[in-house]
Structure 1
Amino acid sequence: MVSIRYLSVSVIGPGHLLNGQPNQDSALVKRVPSGWLAVVCDGMGSKPHSDVGSKQACRAAFDVIRAVDFSIESKALIKRVYQKWLNSLGDIKASDAVTTCLIAWVSDSGKLRTFQLGDGLILTSQQITEHSDTNDFGNITTGLGKSKQFSDWQVTQQQLSLGDVIALMTDGISEDLNQGMELDFANSIVQSTKGKSIRQAKTWLKNEFRNWGTPNHTDDKTLALLVLS
Structure 2
Amino acid sequence: MTGSMTSTSERLRGDRAFGASVAGPAHVAADLANQDAWTWTRWRTNYGTVHCAVVCDGLGSRPHAREGARAGVRAAKRAARQWSRAPGAPVGLLVRLLEVLWRLEVAPLPADDCATTCLLALALPDGLEWRLILLALGDGLAAVDSPEGLRTLGGRAEEHFTNTTVGLGTPHHMNDWQVHDMKTSGQVRVLLLSDGIADDVPEHHVPDLLQWLTGLEDRPAAARGQALRRALRQWPVPGHSDDKTVVYLRIGGVEA
Query: What is the TM-score when the length of structure 2 is the normalising length?
Result: 0.81
Deviation at 1:91, TM superposition (A): 2.1
Report what 2:119 is aligned to.
102
User: AA paired with 1:102?
Assistant: L
Give the gaps of 5 or more residues in structure 1.
Answer: none
Q: 1:157 aligns with which of 151, 158, 181?
A: 181
Q: 2:210 aligns with which of 179, 182, 186?
A: 186
Aligned residues with identical type, % of pairs: 29
Does the CA contact (< 8 Å) of 1:60 and 1:81 recur in 2? yes
Rounded Cα–Cα distance in structure 2 between residues aligned with 1:200 and 1:146: 39
Report what 1:218 is aligned to.
241
Q: 2:228 aligns with which of 197, 200, 205?
A: 205
For residues 64-123 of structure 1, the C-alpha deviation after alignment (integer angstroms, 9 at most, x for no partner) is 221222332122111111111101112211101110000000013422011110010011
Does the CA contact (< 8 Å) of 2:59 and 2:165 recur in 1? no
Deviation at 1:211, TM superposition (A): 1.3
Taking the TM superposition and a 5 Å limit, the aligned residue runs for 1:25-174 are 25-34=36-45, 35-68=50-83, 69-109=86-126, 110-126=130-146, 127=149, 129=151, 138=161, 140-174=164-198
Rounded Cα–Cα distance in structure 1 between residues aligned with 2:104 and 2:116: 15
Rounded Cα–Cα distance in structure 2 between residues aligned with 1:144 and 1:96: 10
Q: Provide the aligned length of Structure 1 versus Structure 2.
A: 224
Moved over 6 A (4+): none
User: AA paired with 2:25?
Assistant: P
Rounded Cα–Cα distance in structure 1 between residues aligned with 2:251 and 2:203: 25
Deviation at 1:215, TM superposition (A): 1.4
Does the CA contact (< 8 Å) of 2:40 and 2:54 recur in 1? yes
Deviation at 1:130, TM superposition (A): 10
Cα 1:199–1:158 change in 2 (3 A) is: farther
Rounded Cα–Cα distance in structure 1 between residues aligned with 2:202 and 2:180: 23
> Cα RMSD (Å) of the superposition?
2.2
Greater relative contact order: 1 or 2 (C-alpha under 8 angstroms, separation 6 or more)? 1
1:176 is paired with a residue of what secondary structure? coil
Give the gaps of 5 or more residues in structure 2.
Answer: 1-11
Does the CA contact (< 8 Å) of 1:43 and 1:98 recur in 2? yes
Q: Which moved more, 1:5-14 or 1:180-189?
A: 180-189
